A and B are shown apart, each in its own frame.
Chain A
Amino acid sequence: MAFWLSKSRSISSLLGKRIGLLTILHERNKGSFLHSRRDGVFRYKNSPEFSTKSATFSATGQRFKSSKTGEQVELPSSDEDDDENQAVDFPGGRVAFTSRMNFTSESSGKRIPCFRVLDDNGYPIAGSIFEQVNKEVAVRMYSGMVTLQIMDTILYETQRQGRISFYLTSTGEEAINLASAAALSPDDVVLPQYREPGVLLWRGFTLQEFANQCFGNKADYGKGRQMPIHYGSQKHNYFTVSSPIATQLPQAAGVAYSLKMDKKDACVVTYMGDGGTSEGDFHAALNFAAVTEVPVIFICRNNGWAISTPITEQFRSDGVVVRGQAYGIRSIRVDGNDALAVYNSVRTARQTAINEQRPILIEALTYRVGHHSTSDDSTKYRAVDEIEHWKTAQNPVSRFRKWVQGNGWWTDEDESEFRSNIRKQLMEAIQLAARKEKPPIANLFTDVYEENPPNLVEQERSLGETIKKHPQDYPSDVPL
């Protein structure tokens, strides 16, 4: 067939409008697919039945629609060798032919540019268009970033002192945390990975509540069931942190599906790191979200490292942003250390996600200044100067501070006063949390199911009896 077509190049242009054949084909296929902008086009059809859209499927007609890839896209008319502009209807839609065998390159050569609004010194870049934040929001964002910094420093030390078993910092990613949180509404549901406590902080989680969870005491909302930093709060619409990587991504698509069914004016926001995008769940989640057309924002904190795996060993694509298009998802790459850029992109993403009921992918480029966690010493696999550089020259907190101070909304006195204030508050919260009672033993048995099953009721009773009989073998500071 192809042979015949290439030979008939001149014939096809002759065929043009002069022969009814084309008109016949044209008539039959009207309205169901693209029209080329050129005349004299020879069209080749698979089979007549396909064009008449016979109702092979049930009354819903759903399946036929789904064999197209969404909206019909006009083929760009290229002037080069596509004179014939032949096209064929395959499942999934119409594709143009080309007689030149061309492998799409593994990289587009040019990397997708990164959206930023403030330069390294905190000055708005000339000509940049962005939504301003007012003083109140800016100060709240900035102070949140500072609070997160202090929280991280002190709680990390607390682990080092052996008072809590584990901690994970978000150092270097404060802008992503607070700016994205500021761009959302409290009704938006957040499914975090684990490096986003700033989002919870923005929403009103107190230092005391953070400390309680880390110490696993009686006041912990998790009833002492989770290791530190696995915060969760239903009333703040922040799902409990879950350790396995990327499992929150398809879950987020599911939550978004539920929101869509409820027709709520809210979206889902879920976070992951660069490493998380290698998980199968990432692929499934994005694919699903696109197919089911749900309002979910996938925010990837590309901080360059997945424990000791640098991104050069994580993937070979141009980062994460290019993958969005592969799933049919609108995406953007943003400077994750620029609080205003993050704020703007998340605001727009949110509006789009809700108004158009579609998923969005945001890749926020940043750097993981701290170690992966308290179980890691990153100087073992990366240069200390590299870490220092990002800690100082590229610090998102000081960059935003320069902008906020530049607007006259913050002073050096405010800074030192605020920092010492937070430090004091946090130290007190930690003291209180450490002194507070541990959760009662009853919590061992509850919540496995909605209702306690008889075997657990029996075990709890039996344990209670044993403790009563041998109180000396039982720690006195743990309540029943």
Chain B
Amino acid sequence: MSAILRKIIAPGGIPAWGIRVIASRTYSSSAGGKEMTVRDALNSALDEEMSADPSVLLMGEEVGEYQGAYKISKGLLDKYGPKRVIDTPITEAGFTGMAVGAAYHGLRPVVEFMTFNFSMQAIDHIINSAAKSNYMSSGQISVPIVFRGPNGAAAGVGAQHSQCYAAWYASCPGLKVLVPYNSEDARGLLKAAIRDPDPVVFLENELLYGESFPISAEALDSSFCLPIGKAKIEREGKDVTIVAFSKMVGYALKAAEILAKEGVSAEVINLRSIRPLDRATINTSVRKTNRLVTVEEGFPQHGVGAEICASIVEESFEYLDAPVERITGADVPMPYAANLERMAVPQVEDIVRAAKRTCYRSVPVAVNA
């Protein structure tokens, strides 16, 4: 079983331990339906948007000839040529600044960071040149740019390749921050991001690239777009709300399966968007279940879970029957060794235990991530 699973996972190395079932969600509903990997979903979204609008460009390291460091931009150079698919020199600050300048003048660049860890070398341009420009120029300079790339932990890549930037970017007004989980999210949100007039940070996940998900005919249509700022209830439940984004949605769904067998009905929310944060959906859900667990891979302090917790305390305090549980990555730079790495990221068991704690069914040895 695990051998088969290993093959399906993206060329990025050995996945973290733990059971991962692909498309645990709605296999039963779309019998004989189409499936699509997240990689293909992103590729098709880019392709369609570039075809529809000649001002859309893709630039970044290895996006052209190499077909993309993770093959997301496969075939695009051949189709659109080197003027629209630009292989850049190695200077994040340089090509991000250049892309922002191009956006100032009316082009719609999609900037790929090989991982968002490298975006730190360009973060001045993302925040000061892109996010704040519309405001500081009083609407004279709009920046319709998308920054995309893998974010968060991969597998065995160490501290400088594993940080999650969701909380960092989401704290900045002027940016929109999107976090797709499955192929439908990837397609719909990337298309929405490219069409959006504001700068968007699009956080993908390397380990999800190779995962295959069922996809509806509607999602395959070239006009398909998901609204920015709306979370999705992936699984309905009534006992506890589990909020997650990106890869952790898969883990949360798995945890929900396990909890269901033990009589706990968990509602899983796929955030899809960190900024704007869909506080309404989260609050409505918590008012129904009265318990909340947030899950993220990033560092605990000032994380996404902290913001969600604050929002719940402000809006739905009386509805809470238990303190909010935050599951996060460990407060350490990501270690490399596989056993240490496993301890530094949330696992399905951690989510299960946290959910049980909120239901007053704690286990004697509780190991927090």
Does B312 make an interface contact (CB < 8 A)? no
Q: When chains A and B are docked, how far (Å) is the Cα of A96 from the Cα of B77? A: 35
Determine whether the beta carbon of A254 is less than 8 Å from that of B100: yes
Q: Do A250 and B98 touch across chains, with their CB atoms under 8 A apart?
A: yes
In residues 285-327 of chain A, which contact B (Cβ within 8 Å)? 285, 287-288, 291-292
With both chains docked as a complex, state the minimum distance between the C-beta of B178 and any C-beta of chain A, in angstroms.
14
CB neighbours (8 Å) of A62 from chain B are 65, 82
A346 partner residues in chain B, CB cutoff 8 A: none
Contact A251 B134 (CB under 8 A): no
Q: Which residue of A lies closest to B197 (CB)?
A: A450
**B69-107: contact bitstring with A at CB < 8 Å (1 yes, 0 no)?**
000000001100111001011010111111111111111
Question: Would you call A103 an interface residue if the criterion is a C-beta within 8 Å of the partner chain's C-beta atoms?
Answer: no
The answer on a CB contact under 8 Å between B139 and A447 is: yes
List, in ascending order, chain B residues with CB within 8 A of A222's CB.
136-138
Q: Would you call A284 and B95 a contact (CB within 8 A)?
A: yes
Contacts of B77 in A (CB 8 A): 58, 60
Residues on the A chain within 8 Å of B171, using CB? none
Chain A positions 200-227 with a Cβ under 8 Å from a chain B Cβ: 221-223, 225-226
What B residues does A57 contact at CB under 8 A? 65
Closest Cβ–Cβ distance, residue A236 to chain B (whole Å): 11
B346 at the interface (CB under 8 A from A): no
- Assess whether B125 is interfacial by the CB under 8 Å rule: yes
Question: Contacts A60-B78, A244-B124, A244-B128 given: A253-B98 contact, CB under 8 Å?
Answer: yes
- Tell me if A284 and B105 are in contact (CB < 8 A): no
CB distance from B110 to the nearest CB of A (A): 13
User: Closest A-chain residue to B125, C-beta based?
Assistant: A247
Q: Do A453 and B276 have beta carbons less than 8 Å apart?
A: yes
Interface flag for A400 (CB, 8 Å): no
Binary interface encoding of chain B residues 212-247 relative to chain A, with 1 for a CB under 8 A from any of its CBs, else 0:
000000000000000001000000000000000000
- Identify the closest chain A residue to B127 (Cβ): A244
Interface size classification for chain B: 35 or more
Q: Do B139 and A285 have beta carbons less than 8 Å apart?
A: no
Contact B89 A291 (CB under 8 A): yes
List B contacts of A247 (CB < 8 A).
Answer: 97, 124-125, 128-129
Q: Which of B99, B141, B174, B176 contacts A240 (CB 8 A)?
A: B141
Is the pair B91, A232 in contact by a Cβ cutoff of 8 Å?
no
Q: Does B37 contact A (CB under 8 A)?
A: no
Contacts of A258 in B (CB 8 A): 101-102, 105-107
Closest A residue to B176 by beta carbon equals A449
Tell me if A42 counts as interface (CB < 8 A to partner B).
Answer: no
- A378 contacts across to B, CB distance below 8 A: none
The one of B78, B98, B137, B140 in contact with A59, judged by C-beta atoms closer than 8 angstroms, is B78
A446 within 8 A of B: yes
Instruction: Say yes or no: A254 contacts B102, CB within 8 Å.
Output: yes
A453's nearest neighbour on chain B, judged by CB, is: B276
A288 & B105 in contact (Cβ 8 Å cutoff):
no
Partner of A259, one of B83, B105, B176: B105
Q: Which residues of A contact B133 (CB under 8 A)?
A: 240
**Pick from B93, B135, B136: contact of A281, CB under 8 Å:** B93
Cβ contact within 8 Å between B78 and A447: no
Contacts A281-B97, A287-B89, A287-B94 given; does A450 touch B104 at CB 8 Å: no
Q: Quick one: given A240-B137, A240-B141, A288-B91, are A450 and B198 in contact (CB under 8 Å)?
A: yes
Listed by A's residue number, 19 A-B pairs whose Cβ atoms lie within 8 Å are A221-B140, A223-B139, A225-B137, A230-B136, A234-B137, A239-B104, A244-B129, A247-B124, A247-B128, A254-B105, A257-B102, A259-B105, A284-B93, A284-B95, A284-B97, A285-B98, A291-B89, A443-B138, A446-B139
Binding site for B on A (CB under 8 A): 57-60, 62-63, 189, 191, 221-223, 225-226, 230, 232-234, 239-240, 242, 244, 247-259, 261, 280-281, 283-285, 287-288, 291-292, 443, 446-450, 453-455
Enumerate the 10 nearest inter-chain pairs by beta-carbon distance, A residue then B residue, closest first: A284-B94, A254-B101, A250-B97, A251-B101, A254-B102, A223-B138, A254-B98, A258-B105, A450-B197, A284-B91
